[in-house]
Amino acid sequence: MAATTTERPAGPPAEPPGPPSLSPVELARWSWRQLTSMRTALILLFLLALAAIPGSVVPQTAVDSVRASRWMDDHPRLTPVYEKLGLFSVYDSVWFSAIYILLVISLVGCIVPRLRVYWRGVRAEPPRAPRRLDRLPEHRTLETDAEPGAVLEAARAALRSRRYRVRVDAAEGTTPGAVRAERGKLREGGNLVFHLSILVVLVGFALGSLLGFKGGAIVVTGDGFANTLSQYDDFEAGSFFDVADLEPFDFTVDGFDVTFLQEGRQAGMAQKFRADVTYRTAPGAEDQQREVAVNHPLSIDDTDVFLIGHGYAPNITVRNTDGTVAYSGPVVFLPEDTTFRSFGVVKVPDAEQAGGRTTQLGLEGEFYPTYGFTDESGPFSAFPDSKNPALSMLAWTGDLGLDSGRSQSVYALDKDGLDPLLKSDGQPVRLDLALGRTAELPDGMGTVTFDGLSRFVKLQVSHTPGQSTALVGVVLALLGLLASLFVRPRRVWVRARREGGRTLVEVAGLDRSAGGDLSGELDALVGRLRPAGASDTPATTRSPEEPT
């Protein structure tokens, strides 16, 4: 093990303790050696691990923006400090990037010279036998009557069959003949492939985040979606992504199906959700049908559409007193918990007010797929499936703020310009509606009807170029790693000389891997070289049986 490392070109052994006072060139060279040393790599790896931790403790904007903004609201004093430190986006932060960029530089600086050495070494012949084979950790001797040449030939054949690269040096004068053999250079090769592949994976990742995009959309069943920017609820794209590159597909969500476990311990757990979609790869292309389910995305060219959520969209109609429709359609209510108690708003920009004037009307409230009520808890949902759907909403009038020019969430009311509608007793007007029911608004403002129930699906659309690059990278990395960890780099030498009418054979070997053990290999070789019906010359060995 120790032998391995000292021979390694990459890990410069003892570094000088501090920068010697030298010329700038030499200082630069010294710094470079420091940066590309194994110890620095080790420390940078540690720093990387440490730097990753805060991102698992502080909510990350890019991972879960809702949780992150809630956290910010709860910690008004810490938030600015954390923001400065980049703690809400650790993995894009300067310090995190600095660490991995240094690591990449160190990696390159470390691999390139090793590649050169490896390239030269790969074709090199096995090294000559050391003068004293008995100094090596593993060695055996035996005597035989066969000619030295024949012994060496047998050793050559035996080693070749074990896939060693072998050279035979014939005897010359007083120098006895010897066989030198080596195998397992793939270890270092695998190690280099592994480290290079890390770079390939990083390139793949970089391609994905620079050229790709990820967007979310909520689509009510029966509605369509066309892949243009305006149809997304949220959209994040890499710096080099061009919106014109959005592939021109579109689809309609024909239906959505979910099975809720009705009984048992997990009653209410959703299972087998899937959406039926009809899609076209481009306008005018042929209609195709597909089922999209969890773990079964729809892939159109290089873009994938994932089903990642679902919920209810009650159909709500608001009518004026004369029966004309001021608003009608399915309204997306976002689920708030596992019972699918959901929150939503209706914005009616042209509602009627007493006296025929128009005003803006906002409704805000909750939807319960299986309505329940107790005095303590108020309304609640007893089950996520729609067994007894009901709405409970408050009404507001005034200015919805739609014309302010600020972008506004369709899932929340901006109450700055709104006043609650009040009953004559001063209590706010609450509209409690079971499916199919109509409630009347006060002051001749018309009616609100809950006239149907649709479902919606939450889709995530993403385009991640470079994913095959990254995949090839990780697979190569894994193969390289396996070679690097499990290939045994070994050298074996056999020397045979005539002595006192017999042939004295010396066999020795070196296992250059961490934790290698050669004894079995040498014993097998000695077995092959020993004359048939072996004389019992005990092969001297250095190792008794040992756990391997």
Closest separation between CB of residue 99 and ligand HEM, Å? 10
Residues 6+ apart with CB under 8 A from 431: 363, 365, 391, 392, 393, 394, 395, 439, 441, 448
Whose Cβ is closer to other proteins: residue 161's or residue 295's?
295
Q: Which residues, in sequence order, are bridge partners of residue 397? A: 361, 419
Q: What is the smallest separation between the CB atom of 366 and other proteins, expressed in angstroms?
A: 14
**Judged by CB, which is closer to other proteins: 20, or 544?**
544
State in angstroms the smallest separation of the CB of 37 from ligand HEM: 6
196 lies in the site for other proteins, by CB under 8 A: no
DSSP 41: H
Identity of the residue numbered 366: E
Partner from other proteins, ligand HEM, none contacting 158, C-beta within 5 to 8 A by type: none
Q: Is 389 in the site for other proteins (CB under 8 A)?
A: no
Q: What are phi and psi of 194, to 5 degrees?
A: -55, -50
Residues 426 to 485 in contact with ligand HEM, rule: CB under 6 A: 484-485
Which lies closer to ligand HEM via its Cβ, residue 205 or residue 343?
205
Helices (runs of H) and strands (runs of E) counted in the chain: 11, 24
Closest residue to ligand HEM, based on beta-carbon distance:
110
CA dihedral 32, 35, 119, 158 (to 10 degrees): 140
Dihedral of the alpha carbons of 294, 470, 90, 44, in degrees to the nearest 10: 140
Binders of ligand HEM in range 338-357 (CB under 6 A) = none
Using CB under 8 A as the binding rule, the residues of this chain from 308 to 347 that contact other proteins are: 308-311, 334-338, 340
- Picked from other proteins, ligand HEM, none, the partner binding residue 272 (CB below 5 to 8 A depending on kind) is other proteins
How far apart are CB 481 and other proteins at their closest, in Å? 5
The CA–CA distances, whole Å, from 361 to 72, 124, 202, 343, 431 equal 31, 85, 52, 17, 13
Q: Are 359 and 327 in contact (CB under 8 A)?
A: no
Q: Which does 311 bind (CB under 5 to 8 A by kind): ligand HEM, other proteins, none?
A: other proteins
Residue 218: exposed, middle, or buried by beta-carbon count in 10 A (0-12, 13-18, 19+)?
buried
* DSSP-derived pairing of the beta strands 430-434 and 390-398: antiparallel
Q: What is the CA radius of gyration of the chain?
A: 38
Binding part of the chain for ligand HEM, among 105-113, 134-142, 271-279, 380-388 by CB under 6 A, reads 105-113
Q: Does 292 bind ligand HEM (CB under 6 A)?
A: no
DSSP state string for 173-201: TTBPEEEEEEE-THHHHHHHHHHHHHHHH
Q: From the list ligand HEM, other proteins, none, which binds 102 (C-beta under 5 to 8 Å, kind-based)?
A: none
Please enumerate in sequence order all residues whose Cβ is within 8 A of that of 469, keeping only pairs 6 or more positions apart, or say none.
Answer: 200, 201, 203, 204, 207
Torsion angle (degrees, nearest 10) of CA 6, 11, 17, 21: 120
**Cβ of residue 183: shortest distance to ligand HEM, in angstroms?**
16
Cβ 485 to ligand HEM, closest distance in Å? 5
Contact region for ligand HEM (CB under 6 A) — 14-22, 36-44, 276-284, 462-470? 36-44
Binding of other proteins by 438 (CB under 8 A): no
Residue 55 binds which entry of other proteins, ligand HEM, none, CB below 5-8 Å type-dependent: other proteins
To ligand HEM, the closest distance from the beta carbon of 18 in angstroms equals 20
52 binds ligand HEM (CB under 6 A): no
Annotate 309-330 with DSSP letters as a single string. EEEEEEEEEEE-TTS-EEEEEE
Among 106, 303, 342, 462, binds ligand HEM (CB under 6 A): 106
Q: Which of 510, 522, 525, 526 touches other proteins (CB under 8 A)? A: 510
Q: What is the dihedral of CA 469, 472, 477, 482, to 10 degrees?
A: 180
* One character per residue 485-514, x = contact with ligand HEM (rule: CB under 6 A): x----------------------------x
Instruction: Select from 19, 22, 32, 56 the one that contacts other proteins (CB under 8 A).
Output: 56
